[in-house]
Amino acid sequence: MEKQIINEELGISNDVKQLVVKIKSSIGDNFSKNYKNKSRFYGLNSNFPYKVFHGDLNVKWKDIVINVIYYVVNDSDENVVSYYLRRFKSTSNIEKYELTFYLVGHGDRILWEKHNSTIQHEIEHLFQLYKKGKPLLNTKQNQQYQAFVQLMHSSDFIERIIGYTYYYYARVEKNALINGIYGDVMGKNINGHVLNPLEEIKNTAVYKNINAIKQVIENRNQHERIVRALKPFNKTIDSYLKIANRVVSEYTKAFGRLLYLLKKDIAETNENLLINLSDETIENYD
């Protein structure tokens, strides 16, 4: 019961965990069988003049069929990989069961360690769509959402703070972001590799951004700048501060529950290892 309650509060369901495994396995199998097929390679657009592998498959899950579109660039040139991952973002369609992933490969395998956070994040969005049974956002909500997403990329620090505040306030994003952190940390827990879950959480962009929001709203010297930045959106500073404080409070609680869950799942994953790397190695008693 305790684990079930924690999972529900975090929005990390066993269905999402199982679907992540299923989709990663389907993509991995498809790629390993076809990665030498030259007809599967082509350029994404004129701004990215490198050919990438293209895959398209359907994954059956429960009573739905998920269309998974994925692209893979080879990791031989780190500069190309870095630009590719910045330029092309994986997405989950908010209206239908469709996932699009931009991945990195080496030989016949996908380098999942680069994508564990993204995969779990987007699959959580698809799961939300499945549970809701209709588009996650209506037209008006989507317009507001996109406006704040654009604000997140502003050159003005306070505008970025406001954009991220409303972005994090969206319920669908909080669950997806926490899922992403969970997927990333658990993906690093390979062969008993020693992890400090708290430090892993603190090193995420989400944690650092929530901390930045907290510092800004607690600094009254910044409030006049906030007032000016809010004018185009017809929002008052009181309404903004109410939401910002709620965001900080909810994410702080979510980080705490996530830390508990990570410690629990890491312990369960490692308990069957012959040698736990956090302990001393086996003595030779001969």
Query: pLDDT digits over 217-250, tens only?
Result: 999 999 999 999 999 888 999 999 999 999 999 9
Over the stretch 183-229, which tens digit does the pLDDT of each residue have?
999 888 776 666 788 999 999 999 999 999 999 999 999 999 999 99
**Does pTM surpass 0.85?**
no
Residue 278's alpha-carbon distances to 189, 201, 283, in angstroms, are 12, 19, 15
* Contacts of residue 30, Cβ cutoff 8 Å, sequence gap at least 6: 55, 57
* Contacts of residue 120, Cβ cutoff 8 Å, sequence gap at least 6: 16, 20, 179, 180, 182, 183, 184
| pLDDT of the residue at 2 | 43
Under the banding of pLDDT at 50, 70 and 90, the label for residue 13 is: confident
| pLDDT of the residue at 147 | 84
* Average pLDDT for 145-152: 87
| pLDDT of the residue at 142 | 81
Pairing verdict, β 109-110 and 48-61: unpaired
* Average pLDDT for 99-120: 94
* Average pLDDT for 7-11: 51
* Average pLDDT for 141-149: 83
| pLDDT of the residue at 48 | 87
Element (H, E) at 254: helix 237-270
| pLDDT of the residue at 282 | 41
Q: What angle do CA 173, 175, 178 make, to 5 degrees?
A: 105
Q: Please give the Cα distance from 53 to 40 (Å, whole number).
A: 5
Q: What angle do CA 137, 258, 99 make, to 5 degrees?
A: 40
Average pLDDT of the chain is 86
pLDDT above 70 for 97: yes
* Average pLDDT for 150-174: 92
Q: Which amino acid is at 178?
A: I
Q: Please give the Cα distance from 139 to 194 (Å, whole number).
A: 46
* Contacts of residue 6, Cβ cutoff 8 Å, sequence gap at least 6: 257, 260, 261
| pLDDT of the residue at 189 | 79
Beta bridge partners, 48, equal: 45
**For residues 185 and 227, is the Cβ–Cβ distance under 8 A?**
no
The first and second tokens of residue 60, run together, are 């059956």
Looking at residue 170, the DSSP 8-state letter turns out to be: S
Q: Calculate what percentage of the chain has a pLDDT beyond 90.
A: 58
Q: Please give the Cα distance from 90 to 93 (Å, whole number).
A: 10
Lowest mean pLDDT among 2-11, 27-36, 158-167, 248-257: 2-11
